[in-house]
Amino acid sequence: MKDVYHSLQEKAYELAAFNKLLQGTVRVKAKVLSTEEAIGNPDEDDFPLQKGKERLMEAEFLDARGQAFTDRFGGFEGTVTEVLSSRLENNYRRAVFVATLNAMMRRLGLADKTIHCRDKEPALCAGELAVYLQNRYKGARIAQVGFQPRMIEALSRRFPFRAVDLDPENIGARPFGITIEGPAATEDAIQWADVLLVTGSTLVNGTIGSFLTEKPVIFYGTTIAGAACLMGWERFCGSGH
C-alpha cells in the first residue's frame, strides 16, 4: 500500500501542475496565529488552542487562506513546488504542507471551510455533529480521537462514547463524566467502536494511518479540508469559514 502522504503529495502536485500553479514565482506564506486570531473568544476556556499546546498555522496563497493545527510552528515562505515536493518528516513540515494545500484547494474552489470557527461557533458545530451522527448512526458506539471538548460534551450525552488524546495533561481527565484515554488505548478503542470520529490534526502529527480502517471514519475540522477532498475521505465541519 502506498504511503498516504506520498499519495497525497502526488495528487496535490498533479492538481497544481494541471492548473499551472507550479509556474513562476508564486509565493506562499504561513504564519502562526494568536489564540484570539484563531478562535476568538468562546465562552469556555478548555480548548487546546487556549492552553498554548497547539497553534494554527495559516497559509496565504493568492487571495485564499488555509490553516493547520500543529504543535511545531513557525513561519515559511516559498514556492508551491517547494512545499508540495518537500519531505514531510516532522510536524512543522507537514503543517506547512497541509495549510498550503488547504489554501490552494480553497483558491481552486475545491475545498471550503479551511478557516477555523470562532467564538460561539465550536459549540454550535458540536450540536450539528450530534444531529448528523444521530441521523446516520443512531445508537452507534463512537470513538473520538482528539480533545475537542464541545464535541465530547455533545456526543457523550447521546452515544456510547470513548475519547483518546495524545496530550498527557488531558489523559485521565474526566470532562462530562468521560475518561480521556491515552495512545495505549487507541487500538482497543478502534476495535470497540462502530464509528471513528477523528481530528484532522492526525494528518499533521503523523498518526492518520492508524485510523484509515474498514470501519466508518469521519474526520472533523478545518485542517483536513483539502486532503479529504483529494483523497475521498468523509469530513464534518459545521462552522468553519
| Tens-digit pLDDT profile for residues 109-154 | 999 999 988 888 888 999 999 999 999 999 999 999 999 999 999 9
- Which pTM was predicted? 0.89
What is the side-by-side strand order in the sheet with 55-61?
Answer: 64-70, 55-61, 28-32, 76-78
CB-based contact 126:116 (threshold 8 Å): no
What is the side-by-side strand order in the sheet with 217-220?
Answer: 180-181, 161-164, 142-145, 195-199, 217-220, 235-236
pLDDT for residue 39 is more than 60:
no
Q: What pLDDT shows up at residue 51?
A: 42
Q: What pLDDT shows up at residue 50?
A: 38
pLDDT-above-70 percentage for the chain:
86
pLDDT band at 32 (very low <50, low <70, confident <90, very high): low
Burial of 203 (0-12, 13-18, 19+ CB in 10 A): buried
User: Which domains are delineated in the chain?
Assistant: 4-107 (no CATH), 121-236 (3.40.50.11590)
Helix-helix angle 91-107:4-18, to 10 degrees: 40
Q: What pLDDT shows up at residue 35?
A: 56
Strand (E) positions, the chain? 28-32, 55-61, 64-70, 76-78, 142-145, 161-164, 180-181, 195-199, 217-220, 235-236
Q: What pLDDT shows up at residue 28?
A: 59
Q: Would you state the cell numbers that stand for residue 31, as one nine-digit string?
A: 504564519
Other C-beta atoms closer than 10 Å to the C-beta of 75 total 10
Q: What pLDDT shows up at residue 122?
A: 85
pLDDT for residue 66 is more than 90:
yes
Q: Would you state the cell numbers that stand for residue 43, as one nine-digit string?
A: 465562552
Q: What pLDDT shows up at residue 1?
A: 39
pLDDT band at 37 (very low <50, low <70, confident <90, very high): low
Look-up of cell digits 506547512: 96
Q: What pLDDT shows up at residue 138?
A: 94
For the segment 182-192, the average pLDDT, to the nearest whole number, is 96
Question: Average pLDDT, whole number, for the chain?
Answer: 88
Which of 24-28, 53-57, 108-112, 119-123 is most confident? 108-112
